[in-house]
Structure 1
């Protein structure tokens, strides 16, 4: 049960890896309701591995992950998703044989009803109209197949698909990777609008100055260990 002083997400010293290779060596971070928190670091530092642990795609070997005060460590990915965590995966992973509209309808889920003492649900739930208002281009292409969209349109669709589940926490892995500069700016603008609406967001991306503008705080990963990113010292 989540009360006002309970973090939305709390990662406590998690360790994880692949086979005999350990990638995370005690990663910790906290996301409060309505915060935008970014995770950055060079390739191979454990950013995607951290996200996989949070979403249930990779087992945690040591440590703990709490969501609204509930221990979700190593719960199945579908259970974690139903609790209110949605991911926009690296590479977007749109289905080539589904239209834009079918993507958004197939994954749609109403917001979870809060129990007594829990955080209030999203005031205006995400439906087709609201997603199309955020991404007008998706409305224009609602009958196009996933493989008929540009990279930027696919990223918009991936974000819209995640929002259609009415998540409490939206996670974006490599939010603007491989996109043209003008499309990147459009994605950052939309994320700023989501922040203004109070959506909690966890972002992995490499564009520091864009992250600095939107983020409540930035977590830095180095060799599988986390720390708060300090602009003054680390950009000096």
Structure 2
């Protein structure tokens, strides 16, 4: 278990990936330790989302390795990686228009993943409906509203809450505040800072450098598919 052995939670080792004949990533490496918040920053089209797709299994890795708690998960299926405890808040939020807020949070709920010894591998207090509503009071107010009746900011809160309901070991946010009004964006950053204080490991992809740097333990800058030193 990474929390006791000192093994990083996530290791990405010199991965290369792309789409068809086009190569996008050129030897990208990053490490996330337990309880860390790590950011992947850069302009649009630099390879940030491609790296996330490789980590979550949505895009094959051509070369390199991805290890989670010391286990090689390179090119594992998406569902298998999800069951290990990696939860993604996707770009565009992807809320279901015909499900209520409560149904989103209940349908995806999963108890904390345990080790072979029966130890909980997530934070001390598991994420349940009440705890998610405590983090996002607005979701409690809107719990009977359909996904398509929510504002963009509320949908992002719901997407984060939905991911937390799976009790992830690692929470990944792709373009965490894309398209949100400044005041709503600040709410999301405050939420992420609270999650950091709870000890939730997070990988954030976003373009707002100043906000990210306030909460991240480590920042990686991607430029043209490579990490810039």
**C-alpha separation in 2, matches of 1:62 and 1:117:** 34
Which position in structure 1 is the counterpart of 2:195?
194
- Residues 169 and 200 in structure 2, CA contact (< 8 A), matched pair in contact too: yes
Report the alpha carbon displacement of residue 6 of structure 1 after superposing the two structures with TM: 0.2
| Structure-to-structure mapping, 1:1-236, within 5 angstroms | 1-2=1-2, 3-116=4-117, 120-228=121-229
The Cα offsets for residues 68-100 of structure 1, whole Å up to 9 and x where unpaired, read as 000000000000001000000000000000000
- Residues 15 and 25 in structure 1, CA contact (< 8 A), matched pair in contact too: yes
**C-alpha separation in 1, matches of 2:43 and 2:104:** 32
Which position in structure 2 is the counterpart of 1:232?
none
Which position in structure 2 is the counterpart of 1:233?
none
Q: What secondary structure is seen at the aligned counterpart in 1 of 2:162?
A: helix
Report the alpha carbon displacement of residue 127 of structure 1 after superposing the two structures with TM: 0.5
Q: Tell me the C-alpha RMSD between the 2 structures.
A: 1.3
**C-alpha separation in 1, matches of 2:227 and 2:173:** 18
Report the alpha carbon displacement of residue 116 of structure 1 after superposing the two structures with TM: 4.0
**C-alpha separation in 1, matches of 2:217 and 2:46:** 22
TM-score under structure 1 length normalisation: 0.94
Aligned pair count reads 228
- Residues 170 and 202 in structure 2, CA contact (< 8 A), matched pair in contact too: yes
Report the alpha carbon displacement of residue 226 of structure 1 after superposing the two structures with TM: 1.4
The Cα offsets for residues 31-81 of structure 1, whole Å up to 9 and x where unpaired, read as 000000000111111000000000000000000000000000000000000
Q: What secondary structure is seen at the aligned counterpart in 1 of 2:138?
A: helix
- Residues 114 and 121 in structure 1, CA contact (< 8 A), matched pair in contact too: no
**C-alpha separation in 2, matches of 1:119 and 1:16:** 33
TM-score under structure 2 length normalisation: 0.97
In the alignment, structure 1 segments of 5+ residues that lack a partner are 229-236
Report the alpha carbon displacement of residue 122 of structure 1 after superposing the two structures with TM: 2.3
**C-alpha separation in 2, matches of 1:178 and 1:100:** 21
Q: What secondary structure is seen at the aligned counterpart in 1 of 2:5?
A: coil
In the alignment, structure 2 segments of 5+ residues that lack a partner are none
Report the alpha carbon displacement of residue 158 of structure 1 after superposing the two structures with TM: 0.1
